[in-house]
Amino acid sequence: MPDLSINFCGIRSPNPFWLASGPPTNTAYQVMRAFDAGWGGAVWKTIGEPIINTASRYGSIDLKNERMMGLNNIELISDRPVDVNLREIAEVKKRFPHHTVVASLMVESKRETWHDIVRRAEDSGADLLELNFGCPHGMSERGMGAAVGQVPEYATMITSWVKEVAKTPVIVKLTPNVTDIAHMAVAAKNGNADAVSLVNTFNSIVGVDLDSYAPRPAVAGRGSHGGYCGPAVKPIALHMVSSVAKTVDIPISGIGGIGNWRDAVEFMLLGATSVQVCTAAMHYGFRIVRDMIEGLENYLEDKGFASAMDIVGKSTPRIDDWGNLDLNYKIVAKIDAEKCIGCNLCYIACEDGAHQCIRVDERPSGDLRHGVDLRHVPLVLEDECVGCNLCALVCPVPGCIHMAEIDTGRPHMSWKQLQEARGKSPQCSMEDAGWRRLDETPKCFEGSWRPRRSRCHRRLTRTC
């Protein structure tokens, strides 16, 4: 049985699945029930000077039958006194000494105030501290949260204040509302952060009521921008985690749209040691962790990994600069005629949104050997297909269109290699590198480039 436990900055957690700071980690009652359900750790709802929240405070986007595809909130940090939260952390640690409890902190940007809260949080027995430099609303107007996390110098300064007194490892939670989150990770590291977590929520307004003109969620007819999270933000969060993992060499706790074991594994492959979940726990409850544990266990076993730690960062080297990708790699769309239902969605997508490589006026007439009439199946002009994938993405039948690799016989050639070859040999052109300009008919292809099937006769590529 693979070992699911992780080592995060020297702290052992029974598994990588942590609840993120938010409503599910508001009280000891909730965190203890979460640990009983199987969560390996919990980041407490951010502790600081208690605030007053509004009603309502959540808004969401549904996608057809998927409710809460994206969740927006204008909630602030904990509305409970600091000493109550810290007393409850101590109770949880007493009952669950081997689970990971992280105290999330946000206080005024004053050195003594940070020193004081760090000492008190550590006295409660918290295993790690997470500095919330990310709240995009409400707290930033008070000079906290994103107001700190968007200015590298402030982030470095406050982290270093914390590190002056902290005995436990310090995680800096990053806001995605910046131009380059990796730059902010460097700022945190410069302040001696032991780890970073990302992402916090994205600045957003999820909608406007067309009758009352009020944004959602509305507070007595008015609203404010809030923080967006849930499944909709996962791709952006994944990119941010991978970019941070390529830039700094400290542990990462990955957050953003994680709802099942597959999402969690993706974050881990891109560099996260632990993963944090908020929206999915709010939507489906603590029980989702059972499937996450089982799924991760099976995945590790199937792939022959002994420990969850073995997959951390495994995909990081595969995220490359676009300029290094092989321009001579070619794939084309292939339609499985027996699965095709003749809906023509692929034809429409390729005709209007791609490269006009699918024909419906030249369909195969039928395959009598298998007794199947194929006249409903569109025809892919493989020679013209640029392998963009769009038809496969829109096809409603699973596995009906697949992208097949074509052996062009040409060696690997990236844009950088092409530039290099051109530098060495100025006459090296796109044609020399094995491409042809489509100046012939049909008219709509005029001027665009397609890889030639035949080998470049002058071999003006990496080897030229």
Ligand X SMILES: Cc1cc2nc3c(=O)[nH]c(=O)nc-3n(C[C@H](O)[C@H](O)[C@H](O)COP(=O)(O)O)c2cc1C
Cβ neighbours, 10 Å, residue 336: 13
Identify the burial level of 430 via C-beta atoms within 10 angstroms of its C-beta, where 0-12 means exposed, 13-18 middle and 19 or more buried: middle
Size of the site for ligand SF4 (CB under 6 A): 28
Q: Judged by CB under 6 A, does residue 346 bind ligand SF4?
A: yes
184 in contact with ligand X (CB under 6 A):
no
> Does 71 interact with ligand X (rule: CB under 6 A)?
yes
428 a catalytic residue: no
For the bound state, the minimum distance from the C-beta of residue 215 to ligand X, rounded and expressed in Å, comes to 17
Q: Which of 2, 14, 16, 22 binds ligand X (CB under 6 A)?
A: 22
Minimum CB distance to ligand SF4 smaller for 232 or for 354 = 354
Instruction: Name the DSSP class of 94.
Output: H
Q: How far apart (Å, rounded) are the C-alpha atoms in residues 453 and 319?
A: 28
CB-facing half-sphere around the CA of 36: CA atoms within 13 A: 9
150 binds ligand X (CB under 6 A): no
Q: Per-residue b/e over 163-191, b at no fewer than 16 CB within 10 Å?
A: beebebbbbbbbbbbbeebbebbbbbbbb
How does 227-237 read in b/e, with b if 16+ C-beta sit within 10 Å?
Answer: bbbbbbbbebb
Question: Quick one: what does residue 200 bind among ligand X, ligand SF4, none, with the CB cut-off 5 to 8 Å set by partner type?
Answer: ligand X
Compute the half-sphere exposure of residue 398: CA atoms within 13 Å on the CB side of its CA: 0
Site string for ligand X, 268-307 (x = CB under 6 A): ---------xxxx---------------------------
Q: Which does 132 bind (CB under 5 to 8 A by kind): ligand X, ligand SF4, none?
A: ligand X
Give the sign of the dihedral formed by CA 88, CA 257, CA 38, CA 129: negative
Q: Which is nearer to ligand SF4, 86 or 401 (CB)?
A: 401
> 366: alpha, beta or left, given left = phi > 0 and alpha = psi -120 to 50?
left
For ligand X, the closer CB: 58 or 445? 58
Using the contact rule CB under 6 A, the part of the chain among 123-131, 159-167, 187-195, 392-400 near ligand SF4 is 392-400
CA-atom Rg of the chain in angstroms: 27
Q: Measured from the CB atom, is 244 or 395 closer to ligand SF4?
A: 395
Q: What is the DSSP annotation of 302-317?
A: HHT-SBGGGGTTTTGG
* Identified binder of ligand SF4 from the candidate list 136, 138, 378, 451, rule CB under 6 A: 378
Number of shown-chain residues binding ligand X (CB under 6 A)? 27
Q: Is 374 in the site for ligand SF4 (CB under 6 A)?
A: no
The span of 29-37, 147-155, 249-257, 348-356 binding ligand X (CB under 6 A) equals 249-257
Rounded Cα–Cα distance for residues 418 and 437 (Å):
17
Q: Does 104 bind ligand X (CB under 6 A)?
A: yes
- The number of beta carbons lying within 10 Å of the beta carbon of residue 283 is 15
The pair of three-digit structure tokens given for residue 211, joined into one six-digit string:
């009758």
Identified catalytic residue from 135, 391, 395, 428: 135
The interface with ligand SF4 within residues 275-334 (CB under 6 A) comprises 333
Among 148, 195, 206, 258, binds ligand X (CB under 6 A): 258
| Residues assigned a catalytic role | 135
Q: Interface residues with ligand X (CB under 6 A)?
A: 20-23, 45-46, 71, 73, 75, 77, 104, 132, 134, 173, 200-201, 229-230, 233, 255-258, 277-280
